[in-house]
Structure 1
Amino acid sequence: MPYVNIKVTDENVTRDQKEKLVKGVTQLLVDVLNKSPATTFVVIDEVNSDNWGIGYDLVSDLRRVAG
């Protein structure tokens, strides 16, 4: 029973994109590990960019500098 947790920043990820992630990850587990889709769980967590850091910086600050 595979469980996959995907974490992304909460920056306009659409329902369609989430659906594609769930289907794609599930299909990958079917193809590579011969797992059943009926027992494959995929959870997508959207994390506020103020709560995600890379190195010494918050992603929200990095986005501001880059933008």
Structure 2
Amino acid sequence: MPFVNVRITRDGVTREQKAQVIAEITETLQRVLGKAPEYAHIVIEEIDTDNWGYAGVTTTEYRKSQPS
């Protein structure tokens, strides 16, 4: 039983996009590993940008510093 955990920042990802990610990961598991889709578990965790950081700052602050 494959379990895939996808973590993304919570900022503008639509329900349709998440459904597509789930469908495509499931298809990849079936195609590459021969896993039955009904046993594939895909979890998408959305993390607030204040709770995700890199380069020494939160993602919120980092994005503010980037040119638009």
Quote the Cα distance in structure 2 between the aligned partners of 1:10 and 1:62: 15
What is the 5 A alignment of 1:18-33? 18-33=18-33
Match of 2:48 in 1: 48
Quote the Cα distance in structure 1 between the aligned partners of 2:54 and 2:37: 33
TM-score by structure 1 length? Answer: 0.96
Unaligned runs of 5+ in 2: none
TM-score by structure 2 length? Answer: 0.94
- Structure 1 stretches of 4+ with a deviation exceeding 3 A read none
Partner secondary structure for residue 30 of structure 1 = helix
User: CA RMSD for the aligned pairs?
Assistant: 0.7
Quote the Cα distance in structure 2 between the aligned partners of 1:34 and 1:26: 10
Identity %: 36
Unaligned runs of 5+ in 1: none
The aligned length equals 67
Deviations 1:9-55 (A, max 9, x none): 00110000000000000000001100010000000000000000113
| 1:60 maps onto 2:56 in alignment | no
